[in-house]
A = this chain, B = another copy of it.
Amino acid sequence: MGEAFNILRTHHVEYRVTDLEKAYRFYVEAVGFTVTDQDDRHLFLRGLEDRTHHNLVLTRADTPGVAHVGFRVASPEDLEALADYFVGLGLRTHWVDGEEPGIGRALRTVDPFGFPIEFFYQVDSVPWMLQQFDHYHGAEVMRLDHVNYITPHIQDAAAWYQTHLGFRLSEYTVSVDNGQDRIWGAWLHRKQTSHDVAISNGHGPRFHHASFIASSKDKILDVADRLAAMGYVDNMERGPGRHGTTNAFFLYLRDPDGNRIELFTGDYLLIDPDWQPIRWDLNHPQRQTFWGAPAPKRWFDEAMVAYDWSGRPQPTEAPTLPDRPAFLDD
């Protein structure tokens, strides 16, 4: 059923920021995003490897948070099929066309777990910066890799994205309860990498982070130095380090409004259909950080508010499973 439409990948995310100038300095000058376009309410950013209009929209708002995630589909037919499916579910949908610069006809909705999402096929091409090495700076942001959601309905959400949207499971984390595995987190992909969407257990719906590919581990170290030199010491929340799950090298940042991004490099290609998902125990000491250092508490405690398309924050619920490893409870 999920294969009745072909979602290509997580394509972009819209963050709310309270000050576009501060956001410009952080995202563009410090971190290393490329500017496609801007107006007095928005900044449209992309990566050096991107050939489509943007992977991150920063929109001026009173409060920070996430406004939507955009998924690109493989064809206009996929878009129509998705619309039929969402309408059939009874979820509120509406169409826009060109409202978001660079993006054509788009279906806007909220998924069953409260996350504002958008599907589209048409997107404008933009110049490729891949060999414009004189524009490389900071972490050399290449492209959007994935988004990370938090929901108390993790089992349902992980199942729904697989069964209905055709996502495939690359890795998962379990909370072991009386010897039974209960899904605590799911790493789900459409493109041929470890993930496009990760979903974790916790108070939600909230949005944990969007993750952008940096060109190498070196450049993640370099951007840590750069951020520190530019006064962004407190904006470096976790890392640099290596994740157990996905094997990626990471650095988590908080933007000047507290929105969270991850800089990420070094997971793996996942092409073969008979892939056996990797299982991790929530309490495995190397799951989060392969080198052992635990994430700081605020990495678990704090997450971004998810807004619906009318600009209202989504109501949240507490989880029933533990929201973090036991070794962080003390």
Contact = CB atoms under 8 A, between A and B. Distances in A.
24 contacts: A8-B271, A30-B134, A49-B269, A51-B276, A125-B274, A125-B276, A131-B247, A132-B229, A133-B228, A142-B268, A191-B269, A192-B192, A192-B269, A193-B269, A216-B216, A216-B217, A217-B218, A217-B221, A221-B249, A225-B242, A228-B242, A228-B291, A233-B292, A234-B292
A193 B271 CA distance: 11
Contacts of A272: 8, 51-52, 72
Interface in A280-330: 285-286, 290-293
Contacts of A218: 216-218
B216 A285 contact: no
Interface in A214-249: 215-218, 221-222, 224-230, 233-234, 236, 240, 242, 244, 247, 249
A218 B290 CA distance: 16
A146 interface: no
Contacts of A291: 224-225, 227-228, 233, 236
A74 interface: yes
Oligomer copy total: 4
Closest 5 CB pairs of A and B: A133-B225, A233-B292, A133-B229, A192-B192, A133-B226
Nearest to A240: B240
B131 A275 contact: no
Given A49-B268, A236-B291, 10 more contacts: A51-B276, A131-B247, A136-B225, A142-B268, A143-B269, A217-B221, A221-B249, A228-B286, A233-B292, A234-B292
B229 A74 contact: no
A137 interface: yes
A268 B213 CA distance: 11
Given A136-B222, A136-B226, A131 B290 contact: yes
A281 to B, nearest CB: 15
Nearest to A233: B292
A208 interface: no
A273 interface: yes
Interface string A132-149: 111011000011000000
A222 B132 CA distance: 12
Nearest to A246: B130
